């Protein structure tokens, strides 16, 4: 591997200019996928879940509400009451769907929020 001299590096100029045209919906999807990938990479930092590591994960309260087929405030209330298991590092919250399903099975006398 060649080492570049300081003079060569200073003389090297690369200018790249391009335009990307993308609508807001596609941009939002691209950003969401990128964030989701980063969260999956960092989920190891949060620590392993007791469930199967191949299970799916939810990364937002909206995703949790959609999974539970309930409103976002209901999902938030269930999380705050300790009825929904989750892992959190700083502001990042990760919900393991397998753990959620197991926790819903073990609530005696409570109607499940999951519609079949």
**Residue 21: both structure tokens together:** 């045209």
**Residue 98: both structure tokens together:** 């397998």
- List pLDDT tens digits, range 24-43: 888 888 888 888 777 776 65
CA 43 to CA 51: how far, in whole Å? Answer: 13
Q: Which fold has domain 56-116?
A: Arc Repressor Mutant, subunit A (1.10.10)
Model confidence, pTM? 0.47
pLDDT over 90 percentage in the chain: 34
The residues spanned by each domain of the chain are: 56-116
Task: With residue 31 as reference, give the H or E element that holds it.
Answer: helix 24-46
Q: Does pLDDT of 108 surpass 70?
A: no
Place of tokens 């519609």: 115
Amino acid 50: pLDDT: 44
């Amino acid at each position: 591997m060649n080492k570049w001299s300081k003079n060569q590096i200073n003389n090297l100029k690369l200018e790249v200019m391009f335009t990307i045209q993308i609508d807001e919906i596609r941009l939002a999807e691209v950003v969401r996928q990128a964030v989701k990938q980063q969260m999956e990479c960092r989920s190891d930092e949060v620590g392993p879940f007791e469930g199967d590591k191949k299970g799916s994960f939810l990364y937002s309260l909206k995703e949790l509400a959609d999974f539970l087929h309930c409103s976002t405030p209901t999902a938030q209330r269930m999380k705050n009451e300790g009825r929904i298991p989750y892992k959190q590092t700083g502001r990042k919250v990760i919900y393991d769907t397998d753990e959620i399903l197991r926790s819903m099975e073990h609530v005696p006398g409570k109607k499940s929020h999951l519609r079949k």
